[in-house]
């Protein structure tokens, strides 16, 4: 019997998925500790190396490599690297300051306090009901990102394998494996699994560099392709800086990984870890931008679906070793993205009152997310993903108000306005959705949509407060 290329690819993918699943479960089982309550299960980490690998692996999401790298590298070329550097220059010092506050408040050594960043917000917000507004906002954002990542994973796998039934089977197996090791081992299991997956992704990154350097386009040209941009494109790039800064500043998974096991619990230890994490993430982003610029010279850009199809075909046309590395990397990206988002959903759920996202409801959460993800097509996930990500600007504002109250006293003290801003931003997104659906050079303008919604709701809240106080005086 002769196998077709598609059948051979399917068998190879099945073998890679099985191998990654077995390795992830094995190392997760080896590192797990007996269940001693929800807090220790969700917030006790492993060593510094595993936390660093997990922080770096978080950048290798399916959305990033089939979005930021393949699409935005093609649209903006070397400007993507400039945007990345600006994000780190702005977000880095702010993250150092937040880490210093977390260390001073002893929130990096006490798992009973829950997620360090959420615990810091809880300390800075006077009323419990106001803190729950922030928890609701985080729950909405990260569950939405989980749904979007499942949709992207399904569509990329379909582009790769071409059989909806096989893709459904693979995705069910993958989410079952992730749910199982997360349920058994919690945070420690996710860190152990991410270390396995990061090993595959480092090999993939090396392969990207080799393919890029050995291509027909000179590397120096890729690093200096600063094509003139229109004014609107300039605003879009500024929106990308705002998006990325808010993403890093409010990323509760990043700060959760600061709770690694160490005997030296000084501020310098944690500051050094933040530096190492940001440097490693920056390297991954730069390699992605470098490869995206190279790929843009090989492929055309019409829509996410057509571009992903061409990108997959490009990798399949490479040497067999590169093709296998690519298939393994796709599954590693899906693993590391889904397990991280599921963990974040549970970490946020730990702070919910009443509790909804819990270890006991993990299967229900996954099932609902999978069902919702089937309603997205490939040409919609880029716009929806960036919009949901832009909503992280809202908890970032609450964080700034809680950590630096003097500098941000112009924002309302109570964060309820951020929920209203979320609804306003969703309404605005629905209005402009069809105008920007495949306009990759416009999507980061959604950051300004979310920011404007927040400012409008903040202004209304402050004005209403002034009117109430004036009425009381009268």
In the chain, % helix, strand, coil (3-state, to 5) comes to: 80, 0, 20
Q: Is the pLDDT of residue 20 over 80?
A: no
Question: For 174-193, what is the mean pLDDT?
Answer: 84
Q: Is the pLDDT of residue 83 over 90?
A: no
Q: How confident is the model at residue 417 (pLDDT cuts 50, 70, 90)?
A: very high
Q: Is the pLDDT of residue 46 over 80?
A: no
d(CA 282, CA 424): 33
pLDDT of residue 223: 56
Q: Which two tokens stand for residue 367?
A: 């099932």
Question: For 270-285, what is the mean pLDDT?
Answer: 87
Q: Which two tokens stand for residue 338?
A: 């889904």
Q: Which residues contact 162 (CB under 8 A, 6 or more apart)?
A: 6
Q: Is the pLDDT of residue 8 over 70?
A: no
Among the listed ranges 24-33, 161-170, 210-219, 230-239, which one has the minimum average pLDDT value?
Answer: 24-33
Smallest CA-to-CA distance from 198 within 206, 249, 115 is with: 206
pLDDT of residue 466: 80
Kindly list the distances between the CA atom of residue 206 and the CA atoms of 202, 250, 329, 333, in Å, as whole numbers in the listed order.
Answer: 6, 30, 12, 15
Q: Which residues contact 362 (CB under 8 A, 6 or more apart)?
A: 179, 182, 183, 342, 346
Statement: the pTM of the whole predicted model exceeds 0.85 = yes
pLDDT tens per residue, range 421-435 = 999 999 999 999 888
Give me the domains of the chain, ranges plus CATH numbers: 5-381 (1.20.1740)
Q: Which residue has the higher pLDDT, 222 or 317?
A: 317
Q: Is the pLDDT of residue 1 over 50?
A: no
Q: Which residues contact 422 (CB under 8 A, 6 or more apart)?
A: 137, 140, 391, 394, 453
d(CA 73, CA 396): 26
d(CA 380, CA 315): 24
pLDDT of residue 456: 94
Question: For 453-462, what is the mean pLDDT?
Answer: 93
pLDDT of residue 302: 67
Q: Is the pLDDT of residue 3 over 50?
A: no
Q: How confident is the model at residue 84 (pLDDT cuts 50, 70, 90)?
A: confident
Mean pLDDT of the chain: 81
pLDDT of residue 454: 95
Q: At what angle do helices 164-213 and 362-373 cross, to 10 degrees?
A: 80
pLDDT of residue 246: 93
Q: How confident is the model at residue 216 (pLDDT cuts 50, 70, 90)?
A: low
The H-assigned helical ranges of 351-415 are 362-373, 378-390, 393-403
pLDDT of residue 446: 92
pLDDT of residue 230: 79
In percent, the amount of the chain with pLDDT more than 70 equals: 84
Q: Which residues contact 355 (CB under 8 A, 6 or more apart)?
A: 349
Q: How confident is the model at residue 14 (pLDDT cuts 50, 70, 90)?
A: low
pLDDT of residue 219: 52
Inter-residue contact 471 to 421 (CB < 8 Å) = no
Q: Is the pLDDT of residue 463 over 80?
A: yes
Q: Is the pLDDT of residue 140 over 70?
A: yes
Among the listed ranges 123-132, 243-252, 300-309, 359-368, which one has the minimum average pLDDT value?
Answer: 300-309
pLDDT of residue 17: 57
What does DSSP assign to residue 65? I
d(CA 447, CA 443): 8
Q: Is the pLDDT of residue 104 over 60?
A: yes
pLDDT of residue 36: 64
d(CA 332, CA 196): 9
pLDDT tens per residue, range 90-99 = 988 999 999 9
pLDDT of residue 34: 62
Q: Which residue has the higher pLDDT, 80 or 121?
A: 121
In percent, the amount of the chain with pLDDT more than 90 equals: 18
Buried/exposed 183-193: b ≥16 CB within 10 Å, e otherwise: bbbbbbbbbbb
Burial of 470 (0-12, 13-18, 19+ CB in 10 A): exposed
Smallest CA-to-CA distance from 346 within 183, 129, 196, 194 is with: 183
Q: Which residue has the higher pLDDT, 396 or 378?
A: 396
Q: Which residue has the higher pLDDT, 59 or 189?
A: 189
d(CA 21, CA 61): 17
């Amino acid at each position: 019997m002769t196998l077709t290329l598609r059948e051979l690819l399917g068998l190879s993918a099945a073998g890679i998925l099985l191998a990654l699943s077995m390795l992830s479960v094995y190392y997760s089982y080896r590192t797990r500790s007996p269940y001693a309550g929800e807090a220790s299960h969700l917030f006790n980490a492993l060593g510094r190396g595993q936390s660093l690998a997990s922080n770096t692996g978080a950048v290798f999401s399916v959305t990033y490599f089939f979005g930021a790298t393949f699409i935005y590298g093609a649209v903006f070329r070397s400007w993507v690297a400039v945007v990345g550097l600006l994000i780190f220059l702005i977000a880095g010092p702010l993250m150092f300051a937040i880490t210093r506050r977390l260390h001073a408040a002893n929130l990096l050594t006490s798992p009973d306090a829950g997620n360090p960043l959420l615990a810091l917000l809880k300390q800075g917000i006077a009323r419990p009901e106001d803190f729950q507004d922030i928890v609701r906002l985080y729950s909405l954002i990260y569950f939405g990102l989980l749904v979007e990542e499942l949709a992207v994973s399904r569509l990329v796998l379909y582009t790769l394998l071409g059989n909806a039934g096989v893709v459904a089977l693979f995705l069910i197996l993958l989410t079952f494996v992730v749910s199982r090791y997360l349920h058994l081992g919690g945070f420690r299991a996710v860190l152990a699994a991410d270390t396995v997956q990061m090993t595959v992704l480092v090999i993939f990154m090396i392969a990207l560099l080799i393919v890029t350097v050995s291509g027909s386009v000179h590397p120096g040209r890729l690093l200096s392709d600063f094509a003139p941009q229109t004014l609107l494109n300039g605003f879009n790039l500024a929106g990308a800086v705002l998006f990325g800064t808010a993403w890093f500043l409010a990323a509760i998974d990043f700060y959760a990984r600061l709770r690694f096991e160490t005997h030296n619990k000084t501020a310098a230890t944690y500051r050094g870890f933040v530096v190492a994490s940001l440097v490693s993430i920056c390297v991954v982003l730069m390699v992605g931008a470098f490869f995206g610029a190279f790929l843009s010279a090989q492929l055309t850009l019409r829509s996410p679906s057509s571009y992903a199809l061409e990108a997959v075909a490009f990798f399949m046309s490479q040497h067999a070793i590169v093709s296998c590395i690519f298939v393994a990397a796709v599954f590693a990206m899906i693993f590391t993205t889904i397990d991280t988002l599921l963990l974040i959903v549970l970490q946020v759920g730990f702070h919910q009152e009443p509790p909804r996202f819990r270890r006991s409801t993990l299967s229900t959460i996954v099932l609902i997310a999978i069902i919702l993800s089937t309603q997205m097509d490939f040409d919609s996930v880029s716009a929806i993903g960036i919009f949901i990500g832009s909503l992280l600007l809202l908890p970032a504002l609450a964080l700034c108000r809680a950590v630096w109250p003097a500098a941000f006293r112009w924002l309302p003290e109570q964060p309820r306005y951020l929920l209203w801003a979320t609804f306003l931003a969703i309404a605005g997104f629905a209005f402009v959705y069809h105008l920007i659906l495949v306009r990759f050079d416009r999507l980061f303008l959604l950051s300004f949509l979310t920011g404007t919604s927040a400012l409008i709701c903040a202004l209304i809240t402050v004005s209403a407060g002034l009117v109430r106080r004036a009425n009381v005086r009268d």
